Amino acid sequence: MSVFAEDLLQAAEAAEQVIGEAVRKLERTVDRNQWKVIEAFQRHQVSDFHFAGSTGYAYNDRGREVLEAVYADVFGAEAALVRPHFASGTHTIATALFGVLRPGDELLYITGRPYDTLHKVIGHAGDGTGSLADFGIGYREVALLPDGSVDWAGVEQAVNERTRVVGIQRSRGYDWRSSFTVAEIGEMAARIRSLSRSAVVFVDNCYGEFCEELEPTQVGADLMAGSLIKNPGGGIAETGGYIAGRRDLVERAAYRLTAPGIGGEVGAMLGTTRGIYQGLFMAPHIVGQALKGSLFAAAVFEQCGFETKPSWRDPRTDLIQAIRFHEPEHLIAFVQGIQNAAAVDSHVVPEPWDMPGYEHPVIMAAGTFIQGGSLELSADAPIREPYIAYMQGGLTYSHVKFGVMKALQMMRNRKLL
């Protein structure tokens, strides 16, 4: 017995035929990343006793120390700070930036406007919030060129002796641009190095981990950060973030997370350690499942006449799949279909609402085991032209497929296809 009509099942089958070779390529990346993670566990002799929780100051928490060594190893970095004490990706990135930047320094973003939640971290002089600007740290950004590439002429003009951190955002975030591949980030790092010997190349790696075989710290980035409720948490880590890169920079971030002079030497893991280890172990596979789901979604919606970014033909470097629909009703049906396919909260019907900070109503689907966990299948769409829906994640391919087919079915029931 199937919940879907025969022709929908056939459309799904056709899409799977189309993406066959892309999926095989993806599976090779998953293999390599899985082996890379296991070998790092082995080199550091991860043992059952490392999973014990710690309390109080948690000095000499061996499980935490080895976890950070494993993370550094996997990311080809000198050091890493991997903690449940990071409340979100934004908190993690802010900690890295505040760790490195000092009053009078400048932060220069070369990939255009950064992710929304970072705007208030950058802040405005005198805003009284303790933002970077409030501490006298300057900010510049160079918009991307219309073709989505870095405006190097603009960057050359913007770099100066105050430039202390050059920021790169790997993922498209919620923009209709391409994400930057790790190879492109490597080229950017080299080029920045030629413009400034002292600037720190920082990468916001959110949504990027394990989509490719290398990470930004393996191609010249000095420092990167990400969230454990996205890719590297493998859907199992319950909260937290990581910072990885040059040892001196990671240490400065640790001084900011706890206190100068104390840094990463303290920090009780409570019961989180095992989940963070196991999540890292699972991450290459789960990211692969989510990416396979995105390939499927891109192929199916392309067959239905909608534009997708990336297309199923494009190389992938992050989890976000954008789909451009024709009508607002498509957005609503898509998001409601994804919600309807969830194991958690499928009975909830998302509606567009005026979310604070957004100019247009936004509709979101999230039925997740971890609140806001976006390695789990989720979708959102601002209700405005050009009617783009963004989806990401999925702990299992079958779940993503279920969600996409529910969305198609809903569109068809509403005579939108």
Ligand X SMILES: *Cc1c(COP(=O)(O)O)cnc(C)c1O
CA distances from 314 to 33, 139, 178, 234, 363 (A): 20, 33, 10, 24, 27
171 binds ligand X (CB under 6 A): yes
Of 61 and 209, CB closest to ligand X: 209
Minimum gap (Å) between residue 290 Cβ and ligand X: 13
Minimum gap (Å) between residue 211 Cβ and ligand X: 12
117 binds ligand X (CB under 6 A): yes
Of 340 and 374, CB closest to ligand X: 374
Minimum gap (Å) between residue 150 Cβ and ligand X: 16
Binding segment for ligand X (CB under 6 A), chosen from 122-130, 169-177, 305-313, 340-348, is 169-177
CA distances from 174 to 148, 257, 309 (A): 14, 28, 11
Alpha-carbon gap, residue 411 to 409, rounded angstroms: 5
DSSP assigned state of 145: P
Q: What radius of gyration do the chain's Cα atoms show?
A: 21
What is the number of the residue whose Cβ is closest to ligand X? 89
Minimum gap (Å) between residue 179 Cβ and ligand X: 9
Orientation of helix 20-43 relative to helix 273-303, angle to 10°: 170
Binding-site residue total for ligand X (CB under 6 A)? Answer: 12
CA distances from 229 to 143, 237, 294, 314 (A): 29, 6, 19, 26
Minimum gap (Å) between residue 237 Cβ and ligand X: 12
Minimum gap (Å) between residue 212 Cβ and ligand X: 16
Alpha-carbon gap, residue 144 to 415, rounded angstroms: 38
Of 173 and 264, CB closest to ligand X: 173
131 binds ligand X (CB under 6 A): no
Contact (Cβ atoms closer than 8 angstroms) between residue 95 and residue 251: no
Of 227 and 289, CB closest to ligand X: 227
Alpha-carbon gap, residue 82 to 276, rounded angstroms: 9
- Give the per-residue contact string, 52-91, with ligand X (x = CB under 6 A; - = no): ------------------------------------xxx-
Contact (Cβ atoms closer than 8 angstroms) between residue 165 and residue 137: no
| Interface residue with ligand X, options 63, 84, 99, 173 (CB under 6 A) | 173
206 binds ligand X (CB under 6 A): yes
Minimum gap (Å) between residue 18 Cβ and ligand X: 28
321 binds ligand X (CB under 6 A): no
Of 51 and 109, CB closest to ligand X: 109
Q: Quick one: how many helices (H) and strands (E) in the chain?
A: 11, 12
Strand segments, DSSP code E, in 99-190 are: 106-109, 138-141, 163-169
Contact (Cβ atoms closer than 8 angstroms) between residue 408 and residue 337: yes
273 binds ligand X (CB under 6 A): no
204 binds ligand X (CB under 6 A): yes
Q: Give Cα 401 to chain centroid, integer Å.
A: 21
Of 12 and 206, CB closest to ligand X: 206
- Give the per-residue contact string, 86-115, with ligand X (x = CB under 6 A; - = no): --xxx------------------------x
Alpha-carbon gap, residue 383 to 363, rounded angstroms: 7
Binding residues for ligand X restricted to 224-243, rule: CB under 6 A: 227
Residue at 377: amino acid letter: L
| Interface residue with ligand X, options 207, 296, 334, 390 (CB under 6 A) | 207
Residues that bind ligand X (CB under 6 A): 88-90, 115, 117, 169, 171, 173, 204, 206-207, 227
